[in-house]
Every structure is written in structure tokens, then in C-alpha cells.
Amino acid sequence: MEETAKLIVDGKTYELPMVRGTEGERAVDISKLRDETGLITLDPGYPNTGACKSSITFMDGEQGILRYRGYPVEQLAERSTFVETAYLLINGELPSREELTRFSVLLNDHSLVHRDMLHFFDNFPRRAHPMGILSSMVNALRAFYPELPERSEEEEILVTFTRLISKIRTMAAISYKLSRGHEVIYPRPDLTYAANFLNMMFDSPVRPYEVDPDVAQALNVFWILHADHEQNCSTAAVRLVGSARVNLYAAISAGICALWGPLHGGANQAVVEMLEDIQENGGDPGPFIERAKDRQDPFRLMGFGHRVYKTYDPRAKIMKKMADRVLKKQKGSDPLLDIARRLEEVALEDPYFIDHHLYPNVDFYSGIVMRALGIPTNMFTVMFAIGRLPGWISQWKESMDDPGWRLQRPRQVYTGPNERDYIPMDKRK
């Protein structure tokens, strides 16, 4: 029997259909609500609103589960590569050997950026934030790579996807090199995706860089953990902007802007800045925890809390272990890791954090991993963006392929003045 929910308004009962997902989650379908009742729903910040059906990523915030296309993120982090995971997210299935080779060849073919784009990088102020540069450059890609009429729609989409995934990494490394006044290092066809990025970042004509396979592997895991997270703020931005049928570059550029915010991807930079602040103030996390609990103080413990996870973020568990491993290998130790561990210990025993279900999220330990890999603090969120790109692309693709696609356009409950007449300037108070 079809499940329904009942809504009673002004004594009249309306039956609303229910939807059930493959993992048993239930939703009340209100898509005909306004037509049938004249009512809308109000849900600021959308914690109770499902904006779409999606078969890409499943997360259970109570149990700390995250799966891409059904595969647990823990298994992918241990056994897959970022490129393979990107393929999985976009295409729905793990690739065969041939499919993966074809995908890698395409990534290699599209890894250079148009020479004229280098002038853009030259003209950003030196102190410009790399996320601002990245979102502008991704948007600019459309001007340099317009649609080609001789390509089929399918080919065009495939080229656009691989171009984005490949070039975003090249552009991130270029912006780093130019910010330091160094020569640009170009991608090499003999290196894997992660190794290529490390080489473009750290190789130099006077100091050749040898890619350490363990470091490249750590980067793969970092990116896999960030690859998708269902309807988070930046993905919702990509879907919303994309719903106006704008080109993919523009939609991704919007996602990058959303990710920049400190409540979202920008938290990884904010966490390390907070840990440095604690270090400069003697290393005791106590006063910072007290500030985070004070309602009068806007300060929040960065890297703690999540809209969906009400338990330990499964990505943070992996990231914490990786921070230990990478640090041992690269630097031996980092005082910020000790502070982070102390902070976590104290916070997890504090009734405020227990009652509010606030646990470390993915960003809590990721900055420490990035520091150990030699990535500068202001590029942490760029690293997140490179990782999230396959998720944004697959979510965009899913929304474009949806037969029930509609322009995303929420409504509102108006609370402003009622109609009134225009007041000439000399009559205004």
C-alpha cells in the first residue's frame, strides 16, 4: 500500500505521498503542496528539506556512515585512487582496466592550460586568496574552451569533465608557483594525478623534486575523503546555479566560492589558524573551548560540528590516523597535532560538546596533514576543492539528466511592509 502523510489545515485533510530511499530513509513529498493547498513550507537553512533524489552518495549522520555509489569511504581510501574514485562518482561504477586507462589518458591530454591564461595569474595581486583566483580561473576556462559544434554532446561533456579535473590541479599549482615568484612547472605524462600535482608544486629547475610514493598515496586518500558529500553547501550551490542551465564551468566556479567560506571548506585553514592561536597563547585549549561555549561570543571551535554528522565524522577518523603516519614520515612531529589532540580530548568530555553532539569533522586534522605535505595554509581549501570536483561534476550531471529537472527557485514568507504610496522627497521625515 502506498505510504502517505496527512496534513490538516483549516479542518481539511490533505494526503501527501511519501518517498522511501534505498537505505530506508523516508520523506514527505510536498512537490504538489502549493498547487493543492496554497501553502508553502518554511525551513531556514534547509535542515529538513530534501532538494533532490540522488544515487551518488549515502551518509548516515547518526551512525557515521559515508558511501560513494554504495562503496564505504574507508574501503575506497584504503584501496582506490582519487582518479578511480572520480570515475566511480561520475559514471556510477568502478572502471575496468581499459576504462581507467582511457580516463587517465584524457586527463593527461587535458592537463595543460592555455598559454594566454598565464597572464591572468600574473595580474592578480600577490596577496590574493588562492580560492578567489581558482574560482575566477575556472570561470575563465569557458572563454578559452568554448563548446565545439563538431563534437557530440556526450563527447563535449566528457571532455569538459576531464578538462576540469585535470586543469584544476595544474591551475592550483601554477597559482602557488607564481605567488612565490617561481617558474611554472608543467605536468608530466609519466606521473600519476597526485604525483603530478606534487611535482608541479615542489619541483624547481635548481632543486629537482623526487615524488615519494607514500606522500602521493596520502594525497590520494586526502582527495578521496573529500570527493563527495551529498547536498552540502557548495554542491547545493553547483546544483542551484547549474539549474539555470548555465555552463558547467560557471556552476563549478560558484561551488568553489561557496566552499571558500569558513563554515564549509574554509574551515581547514581556520582550524590551523586556531591551533596556531592556541600555541601562541601558551598551548592550553581550555580558554578556547570556554569561548566556543559562550553564546555571547561568536567564536566557534573550528573543525568541530556538522549539519549531518551527530557522531564522529568517518573521514576525520581516517584523517587523524593519516596525520600521525604522514607526520612521522615527513617531519617527525608537529606541535599543532599535539594541541589538536588535547583540544579534542577536552572537548569530547565537555557536557556542552556532548549535549550538542559536536565531534571533529573532516577539517579538524586535514590541515595538519596538508602542513606535513608542505602545502601552505592559504592553499588548504584549494586542496579541498580539487578533491570535491568529481562530486560537484557528478551531482551536476545527475541533476541535468533528471527527467524531473526544474529551475531551482525557492519561495519565501514575506514579512516586509504592506503596500504604501511613494513619498516625495520633501515630504519624507
The residues carrying an active-site annotation are 306, 363
Nearest residue (CB) to ligand CMC, 102 versus 129: 129
CB of 261 to ligand CMC, least distance (A): 8
- Point out the residue whose Cβ comes nearest to ligand CMC: 305
CB closer to ligand CMC, 174 vs 301: 301
* Residue 187-206 contact track with ligand CMC, rule CB under 6 A, x = bound: --------------------
Pick the piece of the chain touching ligand CMC (CB under 6 A) from 71-79, 104-112, 137-145, 298-306: 298-306
Owner of C-alpha cell 498547487: 35
Site for ligand CMC in 304-323 (CB under 6 A): 304-307
CB nearer to ligand CMC: pick between 114 and 356: 356
Q: Which residues ranging from 343 to 372 are in contact with ligand CMC (CB under 6 A)?
A: 356, 358, 361-363
Q: In the complex, what is the shortest distance from the CB of residue 351 to ligand CMC, in angstroms, rounded to a whole number?
A: 12
State the minimum distance, in angstroms, from the CB of residue 39 to ligand CMC: 25
Nearest to 344 by CA among 312, 376, 372: 312
Q: Between 186 and 352, name the residue whose CB sits nearer to ligand CMC.
A: 352
We find the least distance from the C-beta atom of residue 253 to ligand CMC, in angstroms, to be 18
SS (H, E, C) the chain: CCCEEEEEECCEEEEEEEEECCCCCEEECCCCHHHHHCCCCCCCCCCCCCCCCCCCEEEECCCCEEEECCEEHHHHHHHCCHHHHHHHHHHCCCCCHHHHHHHHHHHHHCCCCCCCHHHHHHHCCCCCCHHHHHHHHHHHHHHHCCCCCCCCHHHHHHHHHHHHHHHHHHHHHHHHHHHCCCCCCCCCCCCCHHHHHHHHHHCECCECCCCCHHHHHHHHHHHHHHCCCCCCHHHHHHHHHHCCCCCHHHHHHHHHHHHHCCCCCCHHHHHHHHHHHHHHCCCCCHHHHHHHHCCCCCCCCCCECCCCCCCCCHHHHHHHHHHHHHHHHHCCCCHHHHHHHHHHHHHHHCHHHHHCCCCECCHHHHHHHHHHCCCCHHHHHHHHHHHHHHHHHHHHHHHHHCCCCCCCCCCCCCCCCCCCCCCCHHHCC
Give the residue, chosen from 88, 164, 301, 343, that forms a contact with ligand CMC under the rule CB under 6 A.
301
Q: Give me the 251-280 binding string for ligand CMC, x by CB under 6 A, dash otherwise.
A: ------------xxx-x-------------
Task: Give the nearer residue to ligand CMC in terms of CB position, either 82 or 121.
Answer: 82
Nearer to ligand CMC, 167 or 388 (CB): 388
Q: Does 302 bind ligand CMC (CB under 6 A)?
A: yes
Q: If binding is defined by CB under 6 A, does position 292 make contact with ligand CMC?
A: yes
Nearest approach, Cβ of residue 85 and ligand CMC (Å): 18
- For residues 218-247, which are near ligand CMC according to CB under 6 A? 232
- Report in angstroms how near the CB of residue 203 gets to ligand CMC at its nearest: 30
Q: Is 39 a binder of ligand CMC (CB under 6 A)?
A: no
The letter for the amino acid at 351 is: P
**Residue with smaller CB distance to ligand CMC, 267 or 343:** 267
Contact footprint for ligand CMC (CB under 6 A): 45, 232, 263-265, 267, 292, 300-307, 356, 358, 361-363
